[in-house]
Amino acid sequence: MLLTFAYMKNWRLQKMSDMTAMEWHRILALRAEVFVVEQHCAYQDPDGKDFQCYHLTMESGEALVAYARLVPPGVSYPEAAIGRVVTSSLVRGQGWGKALMEVAIAQTMKQFQVNEICISAQSYLLQFYTELGFVQEGEEYLEDDIPHWKMRRRESRG
């Protein structure tokens, strides 16, 4: 499924079963580049959830520059979730992260017919997610030795 927005070029939303091996490889490479190499965090990225999720990607030329995993209710939380949110160092600081999350939020609500989304946010990104309408819950916790907060975003249906 190809999504086009006026302020960005083409976003692709796919299930893993609809991807080519090359598309899936590029996603895993970007996730490893940022979460494992840049953040110095050795963890098991393929966690068995990818088969059940939608995968939102944005390419610039030949490079995959933005990605998020849209998780159905009941997989990570009772609510729908967004995870593995990542932008390539090639585009950081240019607003791609915000655009990625805006599209991810809209598509999560549409694909799963929900008005509530949970995330596990790295603590240094609290302000970023707060500006997108997420609210902290509970207490800070460690996930893969990185401080995180559970956050929730509710949208009233009118």
pLDDT at 34: 80
Closest CA to 73 of 97, 109, 33, 126: 109
Per-domain boundaries in the chain: 2-154
For domain 2-154, say whether CATH 2.60.120.1360 is its number: no
pLDDT at 95 over 90: no
Query: Between these two residues, 34 and 54, which has the higher pLDDT value?
Result: 54
8 Å CB contact between 47 and 10:
no
- For 139-154, b where at least 16 C-beta lie within 10 A, e where not — what string? eeeeeeebebbbbbbe
pLDDT at 158 over 60: no
CA 152 to chain centre: 14
Average pLDDT over residues 72-76: 96
% of the chain surpassing 70 pLDDT: 87
Prediction pTM value: 0.88
pLDDT, the chain, mean: 87
